Amino acid sequence: MKIKEIEFGKYPTFLAPMEDVTDPAFRLMCKQFGADMVYTEFVSADALIRSVGKTRQKLNISDAERPVTIQIYGRDTETMVEAARIVEQARPDILDINFGCPVKRVAGKGAGAGMLQNVPLMLEITRAVVDAVKIPVTVKTRLGWDANNKIIVDLAEQLQDCGIAALTIHGRTRAQMYTGEADWTLIGEVKKNPRMRIPIIGNGDITTPQRAKECFDLYGVDAIMIGRASFGRPWIFKEVKHYLETGEELPPLSSEWRMEVLRREVEDSVNLLDERRGILHVRRHLAASPLFKGIPNFRDTRIAMLRAETKEELYRIFDTIAPLL
């Protein structure tokens, strides 16, 4: 599969853009475990053109991550075009436009998935951004605003006509947020549409290697994107890639090895930020790790993990967990 001139081979597996998750350290870790492409946290176009320091920092990418995509969101054409030109100077491989974020502070203001209620403006922004930059532009969106407005099959063609290089579809409506099951049937319909020429990337509820293979086989997508299943489990890319390439499950990874990865995640987060901010950033993702699933009476330990403020506190908790795995 190719996006413009970027070759990904068979069964590409991407790390989804996620706010407060896909910072440089986590992206690089997922890349090392087999993610074929990684995405930054989404970047506010408004904040970017106002040169807000924290937002500008989100443009920091390294060659070790490549191919890497920077994602932006906004609600008016002029601002999005200006932001796209700033992003291009950061030299990502791809620029992605977020038309899928469902959270109120974004969609409620007309950006992200809010654009699903204003398709003419969505298309105007897309066309203008494509024309403004030389790097490939892609879009990530949802099935539609709600169950009565699942517009993705027609919308996909319209976005393609704007000149985008690929389309990622999350198999939920905005109204669903992140609840219920992702519906891949409409993703499959988009892919099977004979008028679609660009790669289609499927996203939503890919939590196992087997489900990853099903999504390729049943719906014909060109690539898949993994998001929340990577929380506290960056090695999911290693498991998925092995299964896709061999048809067999990866031999079980030892609990010691996986705990060491989580320790590395803590260290990377602290080194990237500082101890206080690094722990705040990483602790909720660690607490969600499936590695701890099934441990009896784990609730108090999870709460302690969510309250930890130093590496030493987190590591002491890890030491009490290790014998239980």
Question: What does the block give as tokens for 53?
Answer: 């320091």
User: Catalytic residue at 215?
Assistant: no
Is residue 4 part of an annotated ligand binding site?
A: no
For residue 191, which amino acid is it? K
Is residue 140 part of an annotated ligand binding site?
A: yes
**Set 30, 101, 162, 215: catalytic member:** 101
Q: Can you tell me the distance from the alpha carbon of 53 to that of 259, in angstroms, rounded to the nearest whole number?
A: 34
DSSP 141-200: EESBSSTT-B-HHHHHHHHHHTT-S-EEEESS-TTTTT-S----HHHHHHHH-TT--S-E
| Pair 278, 266: CB distance under 8 Å | yes
**Alpha-carbon distances, residue 135 vs 88, 130, 138 (angstroms):** 7, 8, 10
Is residue 71 part of an annotated ligand binding site?
A: yes
The position carrying tokens 């992702």 is 182
Is residue 228 part of an annotated ligand binding site?
A: yes
H/E stretch holding 213 reads helix 209-219
Tell me whether residue 242 is exposed, middle or buried, using C-beta atoms within 10 angstroms of its C-beta: 0 to 12, 13 to 18, 19 or more: middle
Q: Can you tell me the distance from the alpha carbon of 325 to that of 316, in angstroms, rounded to the nearest whole number?
A: 15
Give the gyration radius of the chain's Cα atoms.
Answer: 20
HSE-CB of 305 using CA atoms within 13 angstroms: 24
Is residue 32 part of an annotated ligand binding site?
A: no
Residues recognised as catalytic: 101
Which residues are documented as binding site?
71, 140, 170, 227-228
- Annotated binding-site ranges for FMN: 71, 140, 170, 227-228
